[in-house]
Amino acid sequence: MDFNLLHLILLFGTGIAAGFVNTVAAGGSLLALPMLIFLTADPTLANGTNRVAIFFQNISAIMGFRRKGVSNFRYGILLAVPAAFGAWIGAKIAIGTDAALFQFILAFVMLVMLALTLLNPTARLKDRIESDTTGSRIVAMAVFFFIGIYGGFIQAGVGLLVITALRLLTGMDLVRTNAIKVFVIFCYTVVALATFIVSKQVDWTLGVTLAIGNATGAWIGSHWAVEKGDKWIKVVLVVTVLVFATNLVLEPFDLDIKSLLGLG
């Protein structure tokens, strides 16, 4: 599939925005997948291509946590194994899902995840007592199997689900929770990405462009102190997600925003 320079610049910019938002707030992943769908006109190809950026993004995050001495690979592997198996199932379901149905599902998921991101349920879990029992580990493995299915199927907003699950089930502090989160997502992304590659549902040009954009945005976000920037970022995120979600619903009826912008 051929893409012009405008397409690549637009995707690179989306990657910067997603990486920046993920660093200073949350929900950046809600931007990348819809943009890929607009550029490829193929939800399955877009879904597979998005995993390239997720793969490299989490490698970078894992290295960052290791440099800070924050890692728990033993517990991470315990959760990554069922999550990876679930991701394989989720990716297979995504590959077999009708394009129009997938877009409707994504639009609904985007709105739900946007609401959860704004409400920030993890902020209410600060005072939980840490618990690491055999029972809690078994429950966590079961929960992460289903999180893996969701992540393999659609990915958008999965970080919030992982953090909420870990905080509720283990009471771990947010730093260690994030360290385990990026490790688990990386592990199941390897499986999901491989599944999409085998089915020839990955565009490497777009995937690498998005990955570079994500890395750039994350670097900017981590080095740029923004006063009251979180509020403005959330406003932009709300408007953008609403536009994307509306287009995902209207596009099957040939009323898509992409055509109006001259990008079709």
pLDDT in tens, the chain (264 residues): 566 888 899 999 999 988 887 766 566 778 888 899 888 889 899 999 999 998 988 888 788 777 777 667 788 899 999 999 999 999 999 999 998 888 888 888 888 887 877 776 666 665 555 666 777 889 999 999 999 999 999 988 888 888 888 888 887 777 788 788 889 999 999 999 999 999 999 999 999 999 999 888 877 766 664 444 556 666 766 777 777 777 677 665 554 444 544 545
> 3-state DSSP call for residue 69?
coil
Rounded Cα distance, 193 and 202, in Å: 8
- Give the pLDDT confidence score for residue 200 in this predicted structure: 95
- Residue owning tokens 């009826």: 253
First-to-final CA distance of the chain: 14
Rounded Cα distance, 197 and 135, in Å: 37
- Give the pLDDT confidence score for residue 99 in this predicted structure: 87
Rounded Cα distance, 118 and 155, in Å: 18
* Both structure tokens of 179: 């360290």
- Give the pLDDT confidence score for residue 175 in this predicted structure: 75
The model scores a pTM over 0.85? no
